[in-house]
Chain A
Amino acid sequence: MLRDITLGQYYPGTSVIHRLDPRLKIVGTFIFLISLFLVRNFIGFGIAVGFLALQIAISRVPLSFIFKGLKPVFLIILFTVVVNMFMTRGEPILQWWIISLTKEGLYRAGFMGLRLVLLIIGSSLLTLTTKPISLTDGIEKLLSPFRGVGLPAHELAMMMTIALRFIPTLLEEADKIMKAQMARGADFESGNLLQRAKSLIPLLVPLFISAFRIAQDLAMAMEARCYRGGDARTRMHAMTFSWRDAVAAICLVAFVAVIVVQSHVL
């Protein structure tokens, strides 16, 4: 039921990729995604696919999980490919009525489709191998230089952490309440739109009350432990930039260099 929904889609593991510094992973992912836009031909994409495949192999995340991320955007990819295939002018291969399939169109469709797939897999590898909490920690650290200009980096990260932390709790709560009401004969599945919206009241009212209760308890517990925001806080798991991260960073720089040289110099 509800608890089967996976959010953040983290795949637990202990690989080198899992253990990399989240700051490096976030910045690295951005650089990888940007470098995909520098690619100008299929050889470049071949290099990118190889680089990504290597990362996936090292991370030991099963391929089925990697491709799951593509499912929700499958239609968008399909649309892009089809539009590019038929809307590009050039040397026609097939012609039928007003539709013409051109050589250039086929090339561009393949190019765009591959780029989209790489973009999605590249970014989902980040969320698959990084715990949501480490992600927000990484974001906090990356944003902290901007605190000078008034960006509340710690507060933002804390809000994200709390929100992420309570998604499973609230899902579980919703699941429990839903089952309790179903045991009392509530029907969440049939009826027209209005009836269905109305049938959600027995779920939503208790859920809101629970959410407020949980928030209040959490605020109280944090205050009882003297929480007072980000200044001068130390952390239990300090992020360290180790030799592993250095190696990964060098690999990434090498990859970007190869891509730039391959598509813009050669």
Chain B
Amino acid sequence: MSIQIRDLTYVYSENLPYETVALDHINMEIRDHSFNGIIGHTGSGKSTLIQHLNGLLKPKSGQIIVDGIDITGSDVKLREIRKMIGLVFQYPEYQLFEETVQKDVAFGPLNLGLSQENVEARVREALTLVGLDFSELADRSPFELSGGQKRRVAIAGVIAMKPKVLVLDEPTAGLDPRSHRDILQLIRNVHEQEKNTIVLVSHNMGDIAALSDQVFVMEKGKLILSGTPREVFANTALLKGIGLGLPPAAELMEQVRQRCADAPRDVLTVEEAEQQIVRWFGKDKKC
């Protein structure tokens, strides 16, 4: 499922003294089955942008075309759009409300009007996909779980709706390193198994570089850069200028290259850095 965004503009508190332009003529294309990363500072408009993707916010002007249908139109059935595009908010564990884990995950699928058996199968599948044991947790209260487990349950609640596009707003915020890794791995698994499109909003350049096919950089409501991670992270000066910087491995190699001009370039991830450094050390080093 592809999404085209054309000239999208959104203004908060329009016509009030504190009016702010949150999105300023955004144009972007999200391809089918791709893994997309959106980076930018707090307040750069990332969250506002993704809330437009499933009709939670209505733009001031511009279009969002999902599979050929403009979802900003007034005659569009929002339920259909929300079925296709699943949105996991920041700190999604704060939206848990049911008595049991099973009931909470079932909330979304039931709202889609699926049959009881179908819903149960989906709940089981979603919980397994996020790495939780269905038989152990299904009947427990979501409020008794640990922070990382709560977050997985909340993500499962959206995955159970089987969206064709899964949008996640900083899904690893506030987690310990291990839960952080686990959540990213589960997103990768979902992407591979469900063959869906992923849109991941993150502050972590390393994660974005390692996972994305396409990267979009937002700054002050504008889309200032887009392309493959390699294309985007080649703009070192621009990224540093807006306070974002590079993935850690790229930053390290950048520092090395300032001392030795022949150090490897184009390094994004730790794995790449490892290979490149081994190869570089094999040669006759001058420094």
Contacts and interface: CB of A to CB of B under 8 A. Distances in A.
B82 A182 contact: yes
Interface in B105-131: 107-108, 111-112
A179 B50 CA distance: 12
Contacts of A173: 94
Interface string A185-214: 111000000000000011001100110000
Contact of A179 (B51, B83, B107, B112): B51
B89 A179 contact: yes
A187 B108 CA distance: 11
Given A184-B158, A185-B112, A179 B56 contact: yes
B96 A182 contact: no
B97 A205 contact: yes
B114 to A, nearest CB: 10
Interface residues of A, number: 21
Contacts of B95: 177, 180-181, 184, 202, 206
B97 A202 contact: yes
Contacts of A4: 13
Contacts of B161: 184-185
Contacts of A202: 95, 97, 107
Counting chain B residues whose Cβ lies within 8 A of the other chain, the interface size class is: 20 to 34
- Of residues B54, B87, B97, B108, which shows the largest number of chain A Cβ atoms within 10 Å of its Cβ? B97
Given A11-B17, A183-B82, A177 B107 contact: no
B18 interface: yes
A93 to B, nearest CB: 44
A253 B96 CA distance: 58
A245 B112 CA distance: 62
B89 A185 contact: no
Contacts of A201: 97
A206 B94 contact: yes
B89 A176 contact: yes
A185 B87 contact: no
Contacts of B79: 185, 187
A187 B18 CA distance: 31
B86 interface: yes
A183 B86 contact: yes
Interface in B29-65: 51, 54, 56
Given A12-B18, A185-B79, A205-B97, A180 B107 contact: no
B111 A187 contact: yes
Interface string A19-41: 00000000000000000000000
A245 B51 CA distance: 48
B111 A184 contact: yes
Nearest to B86: A183
A216 to B, nearest CB: 14
A21 B161 CA distance: 56
Nearest to B95: A180
B17 to A, nearest CB: 6
Nearest to B158: A184
A206 B92 CA distance: 11
Interface in B59-85: 79, 82-83
B17 A182 contact: no
Contacts of B229: none
A109 B175 CA distance: 66
B157 interface: yes
Closest 9 interchain pairs by CB?
Answer: A185-B111, A205-B97, A184-B108, A183-B87, A180-B95, A180-B89, A179-B56, A202-B97, A206-B97
19 contacts: A11-B17, A12-B17, A177-B94, A177-B95, A179-B51, A179-B89, A180-B89, A183-B54, A183-B89, A183-B158, A184-B82, A184-B157, A184-B158, A186-B111, A187-B79, A187-B111, A201-B97, A202-B95, A206-B97
Given A183-B82, A206-B96, 5 more contacts: A179-B51, A180-B92, A180-B94, A206-B94, A206-B95
